[in-house]
C-alpha cells in the first residue's frame, strides 16, 4: 500500500529509473512529489473556437496541426511556423530560433495539440498568432482521460526530464494509489481555528482543482490549498521558536536584584526623563534580569529613539549586582562612540570601563585582557575583538550586542559563551520588518521603543540633482551662518577609474575652497583611531562647521547642533544606510534638513529608494519598503543570518499567514509533549524549513 513516505519509485509507472532521476532532484518520497506544486493552471474546460479568438486574450486552444514549416530569416534565425485548425478557422504558432522543435516531429500534420498563450495579430501574415506558446501533444492513443483537457489543468515545472504532462499522470496515479491513506500532520483543532482545508483535500485540489475553485487565486498561490501548505511551513518554524523560548526559560541563568540602592544608581545616570516607551522597555528588561532564566531579548527602535540609555541602565543593574557587562559594537567608530558615551553617562558611578579594539597596541591589549580576567573592569566595550578566544571574563552577567544586523547569530552566541548563561540584550540600529524579525529572531523576546524623545522637529528631506548644486550650497551656507553644523557624506574614499564618483577627498578640496572662511574636516576609514576620535570630538564640541566624511559616521554619532546632512550620490546607498545617515541629524530642537543628491542617471530601484526616503522618516515603514524592493534574503544578509529557506512560503506576500501561524504556535506553548510531537511530524516533511539547522544554532 502506498503511503506519503513511500519512495517515489513505488508509484505505478515511475519505477526505479525515473525514481532515481527524481531522487537526484530532491524528490525522494511520494510526499516530496506531491509538494512539487503546479507552477500554473490553465483553464481547458472550454476551449475557445479559433474563429472566436480575440487579440490580447490569454487562452488555451485545442486544434490539429495543418502544416508546419521553417522560415529562414536574417534577424530572427530559423522561425518555426505551425498552422493549426479546429475546423472553424486557422491560427499560426511561431517559435523564434525554433528550428530545433522540428526534430521530434511533434508538429506533423494531423497531430492534436493543446496550446496556451497570448493571442496576437500578425501583421505580416494578417492572421492571429501565438508567439512561443506553451503546448502539449494530446495523443490519440491515450485513453480519453480528463487529465489534460476538459478541466482546469495543472502545469508543472519540467524536472529531471519529466514533462509537465508526464508529471500530471504521475501525480494523478499517486493520489489514486494513496486513496484515503493520507494522514494530516496538522491537528484538526488548528485547521479549524485557522480555516484551513485538510491535507487530503488540499493535495487533491491543488493538483486537480474543481470547477468551483477560483482559477485566478490558484494562479497567484492564493487558494485555500496553497494557504494550507504555506501555513504549515510557518507553523513549524513558529513552533520551534516557541519551544526554544520555552526551553530557554527552564535554564538557570544569572539573576539580578533591583533593590532601592540599585534603583537609585540607575536614576543617577539619567540625563533626562525617559519616554514612556523607554520606561516600558526597561521594565520588560528588568523582569528578565530578576528572573531565574537568562534574558534573551531583542531591543528594536528607530534611529534616535533612545536605545543607548536603556542599554546603560541595564549595565548599571548588572554592575551593581557585582557582575561584569560587555557591549559589542560592529565598528571601531561605534565602539569608540559608546566608550565616550559610557564615560560621560556612567561618570558619576566610578566604574572601571575598558575598550577592546582590534587596532590597539599589543601591550595595551594584554593589559585590558588581564583586567577583564581579574574582574577589575566592570564594563568592557569593543568590536568583535571582544569575542576573540583569549578574552576571559571573571564574572560576565550581561551581554549587549549593538547593531545586531551586522553580526551573525554565531557571534552573538560566542560572546554569550564567555559567561555562564549571561543575560543578553540584542539591539538593532535599523528597524527590521516585523515578518523578518519573526523569522530571524523568533527565539528572542521582543521589546520595541515606538516613541521618539520629546522636542524633536521632524527632519525635512529633499532630493536634488547635481545640476542644482548652487542651490544646495546656499542652503548649507544659510544653516552655518545661523550657527548650525553640517555633514557631507560621500560614498567612496578615493577616485576610482571605473566608477565615476566624486571621492570624499576630492569633494573636501573643493568644499574647502567654497567655504574658505569656515572650519572643515575630513573623516574617513583610513585615519588612525585617535585621529578619528579627535575629529569627532572637535565636531561634537562645535569646533568644526562642516564634516566631510565617508560612511564611517553612519552609526551612533550624536551631535545635536548638526542640522544638515548632505548625501552625495545618494542613489548608491541602500535604504537602511540612508536612514542611518539621516538619523545623524534631527537630534536637537532645530529644524533639520537632509539633502539627497543624485546624478542624472538613476536606476528605477534607486529612484524608488529616494522616493521612499523623501516621503517618510518612519524607519519601520522604510524597512517594509526595503523588504519589498530587495526581498527578505538580501535584507537579512542571508549568508550569516540563518534565514530559513521556505519551499512555498514567501515573507513578502504571506505575512498574514505568518501572523496566524505565530498566534497558533503560541497557543501550544504550554503543551510541551504535544508540541514536540507536532514538530516531529511536521519536520519529517522533506525540504522546506530546515528545523535541524535552527535547532543546532541555539
Task: Give the footprint of ligand ADP on this chain (CB under 6 A).
Answer: 272-275, 278, 301, 303-309, 453, 558, 587
Cβ nearer to ligand ADP, comparing 209 with 556: 556
Distance (Å, whole) CA 345 – CA 270: 8
State the minimum distance, in angstroms, from the CB of residue 624 to ligand ADP.
19
- Strand 152-155, strand 353-356: pairing: unpaired
Cβ nearer to ligand ADP, comparing 333 with 372: 333
Distance (Å, whole) CA 368 – CA 324: 14
Distance (Å, whole) CA 489 – CA 130: 53
Cβ nearer to ligand ADP, comparing 174 with 316: 316
Cβ nearer to ligand ADP, comparing 587 with 609: 587
Buried b (16+ CB within 10 A) or exposed e, 41-70: bbbbeebbebeebeeeeebbbbbebbebee
DSSP 535-590: HHHHHHTT--SEEEE-GGGSSS---TTEEEEEETTGGGS-HHHHHHHHTTS--SSS
CA 276 to chain CA centroid, nearest Å = 30
State the minimum distance, in angstroms, from the CB of residue 272 to ligand ADP.
4
CA 43 to chain CA centroid, nearest Å = 35
State the minimum distance, in angstroms, from the CB of residue 164 to ligand ADP.
53
Cβ nearer to ligand ADP, comparing 305 with 641: 305
Cβ nearer to ligand ADP, comparing 162 with 552: 552
Cβ nearer to ligand ADP, comparing 28 with 587: 587
State the minimum distance, in angstroms, from the CB of residue 354 to ligand ADP.
21
Buried b (16+ CB within 10 A) or exposed e, 208-223: bbeeebeeebbbebeb
State the minimum distance, in angstroms, from the CB of residue 547 to ligand ADP.
17
Cβ-based burial of 600 (10 A; exposed 0-12, middle 13-18, buried ≥19): exposed
Distant-in-sequence contacts of 129-132, Cβ < 8 A, 24+ apart: 129/91, 129/92, 129/93, 129/94, 130/91, 130/92, 130/93, 130/94, 131/93, 131/94, 131/95, 131/96, 132/94, 132/95, 132/96, 132/98
State the minimum distance, in angstroms, from the CB of residue 448 to ligand ADP.
12
Distance (Å, whole) CA 284 – CA 289: 9
Cβ nearer to ligand ADP, comparing 420 with 450: 450
Distance (Å, whole) CA 302 – CA 305: 5
State the minimum distance, in angstroms, from the CB of residue 616 to ligand ADP.
17
State the minimum distance, in angstroms, from the CB of residue 315 to ligand ADP.
13
323 and 398 Cβ atoms separated by less than 8 Å:
yes
Q: What residues are paired with 154 via a beta bridge? A: 41
State the minimum distance, in angstroms, from the CB of residue 300 to ligand ADP.
10
State the minimum distance, in angstroms, from the CB of residue 419 to ligand ADP.
24
Cβ nearer to ligand ADP, comparing 554 with 568: 554
Amino acid at each position: 500500500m502506498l503511503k506519503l513516505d513511500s519512495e517515489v519509485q513505488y508509484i505505478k509507472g515511475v519505477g526505479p529509473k525515473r525514481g532515481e532521476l527524481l531522487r537526484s532532484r530532491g524528490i525522494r518520497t511520494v510526499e516530496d512529489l506531491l509538494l512539487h506544486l503546479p507552477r500554473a493552471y490553465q483553464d481547458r474546460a472550454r476551449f475557445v473556437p479559433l474563429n472566436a479568438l480575440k487579440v490580447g486574450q490569454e487562452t488555451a486552444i485545442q486544434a490539429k496541426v495543418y502544416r508546419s514549416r521553417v522560415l529562414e530569416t536574417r534577424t530572427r534565425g530559423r522561425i518555426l511556423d505551425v498552422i493549426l485548425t479546429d475546423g472553424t478557422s486557422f491560427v499560426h504558432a511561431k517559435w523564434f530560433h525554433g528550428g530545433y522543435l522540428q526534430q521530434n516531429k511533434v508538429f506533423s500534420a494531423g497531430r492534436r495539440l493543446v496550446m496556451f498563450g497570448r493571442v496576437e495579430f500578425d501583421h505580416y501574415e494578417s492572421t492571429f498568432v501565438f508567439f512561443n506558446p506553451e503546448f502539449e501533444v494530446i495523443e490519440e492513443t491515450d485513453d480519453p482521460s480528463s487529465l489534460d483537457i476538459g478541466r482546469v489543468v495543472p502545469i508543472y515545472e519540467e524536472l529531471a526530464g519529466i514533462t509537465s504532462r508526464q508529471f500530471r499522470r504521475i501525480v494523478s496515479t499517486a493520489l489514486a494509489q494513496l486513496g484515503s491513506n493520507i494522514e494530516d500532520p496538522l491537528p484538526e483543532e488548528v485547521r479549524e481555528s485557522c480555516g484551513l482545508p485538510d491535507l487530503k483535500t488540499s493535495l487533491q485540489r491543488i493538483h486537480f482543482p474543481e470547477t468551483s475553485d477560483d482559477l485566478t487565486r490558484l494562479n497567484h498561490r492564493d487558494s485555500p490549498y496553497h494557504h494550507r501548505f504555506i501555513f504549515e511551513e510557518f507553523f513549524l518554524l513558529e513552533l520551534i521558536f516557541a519551544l526554544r523560548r520555552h526551553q530557554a526559560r527552564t535554564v538557570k541563568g544569572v539573576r539580578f536584584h533591583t533593590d532601592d540602592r540599585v534603583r537609585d544608581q540607575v536614576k543617577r545616570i539619567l540625563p533626562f526623563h525617559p519616554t514612556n516607551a523607554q520606561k516600558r522597555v526597561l521594565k520588560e528588561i528588568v523582569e528578565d534580569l530578576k528572573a531565574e532564566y537568562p534574558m534573551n531579548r531583542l531591543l528594536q527602535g528607530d534611529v534616535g529613539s533612545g536605545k543607548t540609555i536603556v542599554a546603560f541602565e541595564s549595565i548599571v543593574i548588572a554592575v551593581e549586582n557585582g557582575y561584569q557587562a560587555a557591549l559589542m559594537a560592529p565598528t571601531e567608530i561605534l565602539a569608540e562612540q559608546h566608550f565616550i558615551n559610557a564615560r560621560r553617562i556612567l561618570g558619576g558611578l566610578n566604574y572601571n570601563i575598558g575598550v577592546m579594539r582590534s587596532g590597539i597596541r599589543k601591550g595595551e591589549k594584554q593589559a585590558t585582557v588581564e583586567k577583564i580576567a581579574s574582574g577589575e573592569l566592570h564594563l568592557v566595550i569593543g568590536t568583535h575583538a571582544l569575542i576573540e578566544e583569549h578574552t576571559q571574563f571573571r564574572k560576565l552577567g550581561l551581554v549587549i550586542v549593538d547593531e545586531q544586523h551586522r553580526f551573525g547569530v554565531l557571534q552573538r552566541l560566542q560572546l554569550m559563551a564567555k559567561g555562564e548563561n549571561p543575560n543578553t540584550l540584542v539591539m538593532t540600529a535599523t528597524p527590521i520588518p516585523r515578518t523578518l524579525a519573526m523569522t530571524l529572531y523568533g527565539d528572542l523576546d521582543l521589546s520595541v521603543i515606538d516613541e521618539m524623545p520629546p522636542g524633536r522637529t521632524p527632519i525635512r528631506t529633499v532630493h536634488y540633482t547635481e545640476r542644482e548644486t548652487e542651490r544646495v550650497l546656499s542652503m548649507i551656507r544659510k544653516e552655518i551662518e545661523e550657527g548650525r553644523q553640517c555633514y557631507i557624506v560621500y560614498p567612496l574614499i578615493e577616485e576610482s577609474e571605473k566608477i565615476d564618483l566624486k571621492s570624499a577627498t576630492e569633494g573636501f578640496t573643493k568644499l574647502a575652497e567654497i567655504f574658505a572662511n569656515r572650519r572643515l574636516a575630513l573623516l574617513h576609514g583610513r585615519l588612525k583611531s585617535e585621529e578619528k576620535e579627535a575629529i569627532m570630538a572637535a565636531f561634537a564640541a562645535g569646533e568644526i562647521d562642516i564634516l566631510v566624511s565617508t560612511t564611517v559616521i553612519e552609526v551612533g554619532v550624536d551631535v545635536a547642533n548638526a542640522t544638515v546632512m548632505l548625501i552625495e550620490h545618494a542613489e548608491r546607498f541602500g535604504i537602511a544606510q540612508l536612514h542611518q545617515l539621516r538619523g545623524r541629524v534631527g537630534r536637537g530642537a532645530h529644524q533639520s534638513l537632509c539633502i539627497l543628491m543624485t546624478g542624472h542617471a538613476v536606476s528605477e530601484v534607486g529612484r524608488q529608494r529616494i522616493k521612499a526616503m523623501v516621503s517618510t522618516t518612519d524607519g519601520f515603514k522604510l524597512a517594509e519598503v526595503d523588504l519589498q524592493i530587495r526581498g527578505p534574503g538580501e535584507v537579512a544578509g542571508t549568508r550569516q543570518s540563518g534565514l530559513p529557506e521556505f519551499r512555498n512560503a514567501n515573507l513578502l506576500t504571506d505575512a498574514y499567514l505568518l501572523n496566524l501561524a505565530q498566534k497558533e504556535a503560541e497557543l501550544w506553548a504550554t503543551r510541551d509533549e504535544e508540541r514536540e510531537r507536532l514538530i516531529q511530524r511536521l519536520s519529517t516533511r522533506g525540504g522546506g524549513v530546515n528545523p535541524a539547522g535552527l535547532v543546532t544554532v541555539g
